[in-house]
């Protein structure tokens, strides 16, 4: 059974929140986007996935009081934002 993009987004966000370092966050984000590309998801769908993930992280950040989780959210938002400009060339 295929996983929906919403489920995939939630899984990624949970990994981001539980990451022990910013390097782990970057690895999780990169792996998630690479996986979408490898599964032949269209670039415009990946861009929407990224933008919705960033929006969700912005909402979650308001509620987060843990410093590590806050740093993880900030790092992931930056990483996702940068990838969104180069989805076509991201491998």
Residue pLDDT, tens place only, 11-54: 999 999 999 999 999 999 999 999 999 999 999 999 999 999 99
Domain span at 31: 5-84
> Per the domain annotation, does 19 fall within a domain?
yes
Count structural domains, the chain.
1
CA 78: distance to chain centroid?
Answer: 10
Distance CA 45, CA 14 (A): 21
Residue 90 within a domain:
no
Instruction: Please give the Cα distance from 7 to 80 (Å, whole number).
Output: 17
Going by pLDDT thresholds of 50, 70 and 90, the confidence category of residue 64 is confident
- Work out the angle at residue 65's Cα, subtended by the Cα atoms of residues 61 and 68, and round it to the nearest 5 degrees: 80
Tell me which residue of 82, 59, 70 sits closest to 22, measured CA to CA: 70
Q: What is the pTM of this model?
A: 0.89
């Amino acid at each position: 059974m295929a996983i929906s993009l919403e489920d995939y987004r939630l899984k990624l966000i949970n990994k981001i929140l539980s990451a022990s370092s910013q390097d782990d966050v970057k690895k999780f984000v990169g792996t998630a986007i690479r996986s979408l590309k490898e599964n032949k998801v269209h670039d415009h769908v990946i861009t929407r996935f990224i933008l919705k993930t960033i929006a969700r992280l912005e909402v979650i950040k308001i509620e987060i009081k843990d410093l590590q989780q806050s740093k993880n959210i900030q790092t992931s938002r930056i990483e996702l934002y940068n990838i969104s400009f180069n989805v076509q060339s991201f491998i």
